[in-house]
């Protein structure tokens, strides 16, 4: 018998036939829960846009389309009643909003060699990466629905003492900075539309680049300076007037291009405004800040088909040599705008409008 064969037999003497692995029955449920919780924990910080929507679930076997009914506000009636005469009365006008859920997901494949040689637990790291991707993906689905609303307010161009109102996105430039005055305009629009606040205040979802311009104002109150501090929203940074701000790198950025009068081949300096190329075309990043009231939108998914973590061990599927395992996520999701009058989209540029990229 060879020395190698003897060595292998000696090792088997010390092997425990009851050794548990990640695929063993005794630990499978525990590991499944652990990895699922890890995925959720890494997804939640990105779900900023979901936390202010009304959650509507579709029950099992309830189809893929959700239908939300609502009644329009009745007009005032200032006509005095005639004594003894029954008036004609009024009619309720009902509107319907519908949305269809879709399924989303992704996965990564890991080799047996990678799992055996990686210094860090590769499945844990993959799960964290999957959670980040899932959170950002699902958040973007909601974000893109609500930022397509019809109520829009453009930050005016401020050049010294001269203020020029802007009425189109294409006219925004790096002097169209988000200011407390613009925020108060949005608040006034919501109040005039009878939009109910969320927990007593309106909420604005803002990108860090837009927040930079706003937070330098003395009117901005940081969250730890609230007169009556309470429970904070995920990502909350402060407030102006009756609008609380939640900061997120996932707040939407779009870009507009225009033909410049001068050629600028040099890269833009930080805060230097639009970038250019040798054709004279400039690109300006526009930041979309969403100011929200209660019941402005809803997020919906099917019961039993929420965010799920899926791990396939070595040998699953078409893997005859046990060389591949996978980790992934799957979820059903959609969002729907319920009341356009309960949300205002503010579009502004600013100090970072020459360097920021669309997301």
* 306-342 tens-digit pLDDT: 888 888 888 888 888 888 888 899 999 899 999 999 9
User: Using an 8 Å Cβ cutoff, are 148 and 335 in contact?
Assistant: no
- For the segment 179-202, the average pLDDT, to the nearest whole number, is 96
Q: What is the mean pLDDT of residues 117-131?
A: 78
% of the chain beyond a pLDDT of 70: 82
Decide if pLDDT at 197 tops 80: yes
Q: What does the block give as tokens for 272?
A: 């230097």
Instruction: Give dist(CA 156, CA 176) in Å, integer.
Output: 5
pTM: 0.79
Mean pLDDT of the chain: 82
Among the ranges given (32-36, 51-55, 128-132, 286-290), the one the predictor scored with the smallest mean pLDDT: 32-36
29 — pLDDT class (breaks 50, 70, 90): low
What DSSP character marks residue 340? G
> Apex CA 194: angle with CA 232 and CA 203, to 5°?
20
Q: What would be the CATH architecture of the domain defined by 28-64+96-146+299-334?
A: 2-Layer Sandwich (3.30)
Radius of gyration of the chain (CA): 28
The candidate with the shortest Cα–Cα distance to 154, out of 143, 163, 162, 166, is 166
Residues counted in the chain:
359
Residue 35, token pair as written in the block: 């990895």
> What sign results for the dihedral spanned by CA atoms 256, 261, 265, 266?
negative
Label the pairing between strands 308-312 and 324-337: antiparallel
- pLDDT of residue 296 exceeding 80, the answer is yes
**Where in the chain are the domains?**
28-64+96-146+299-334, 152-298+339-348
φ and ψ at residue 264, rounded to 5 degrees: -135, 100
């Amino acid at each position: 018998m060879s020395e190698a064969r003897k060595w292998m037999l000696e090792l088997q003497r010390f092997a425990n036939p009851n050794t548990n692995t990640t695929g063993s029955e005794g630990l499978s449920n525990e590991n499944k829960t652990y990895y699922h919780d890890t995925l959720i924990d890494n997804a939640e910080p990105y779900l900023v846009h979901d936390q202010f929507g009304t959650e509507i679930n579709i029950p099992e076997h309830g189809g893929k389309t959700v239908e939300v009914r609502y009644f329009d506000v009745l007009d005032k009636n200032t006509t005095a009643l005639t004594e003894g005469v029954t008036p004609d009365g009024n009619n309720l006008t009902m509107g319907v909003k519908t949305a269809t859920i879709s399924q989303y997901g992704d996965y990564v494949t890991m080799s047996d060699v990678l799992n055996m040689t990686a210094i860090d637990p590769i499945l844990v790291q993959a799960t964290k990466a999957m959670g980040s991707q899932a959170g950002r993906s699902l958040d973007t689905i909601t974000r893109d629905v609500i930022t397509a609303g019809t109520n829009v307010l453009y930050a005016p161009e401020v050049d010294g003492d001269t203020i020029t109102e802007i009425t189109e996105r294409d006219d925004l430039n790096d002097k169209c900075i988000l200011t407390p005055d613009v925020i108060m305009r949005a608040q006034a629009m919501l109040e005039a539309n009878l939009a109910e606040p969320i927990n007593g205040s309106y909420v604005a979802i803002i990108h860090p680049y837009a927040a930079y311009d706003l937070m330098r104002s003395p009117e901005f109150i940081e969250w730890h300076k609230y007169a009556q501090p309470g429970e904070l929203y995920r990502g909350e940074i402060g407030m102006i007037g009756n609008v609380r701000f939640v900061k997120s790198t996932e707040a939407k950025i779009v870009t507009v291009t225009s033909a410049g009068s001068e050629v600028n081949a040099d890269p833009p300096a930080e805060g230097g405004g639009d970038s250019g190329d040798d054709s004279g075309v400039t690109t300006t990043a526009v930041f979309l800040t969403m100011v929200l009231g209660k019941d402005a939108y809803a997020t919906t998914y099917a019961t039993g088909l929420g965010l799920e973590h899926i791990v396939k061990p070595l040998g699953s599927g078409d893997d005859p040599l046990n060389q591949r395992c996978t980790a992934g996520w799957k979820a059903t999701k959609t969002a729907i705008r319920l009341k356009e009058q309960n949300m205002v989209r503010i579009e502004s540029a600013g100090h970072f409008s020459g360097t920021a990229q669309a997301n």
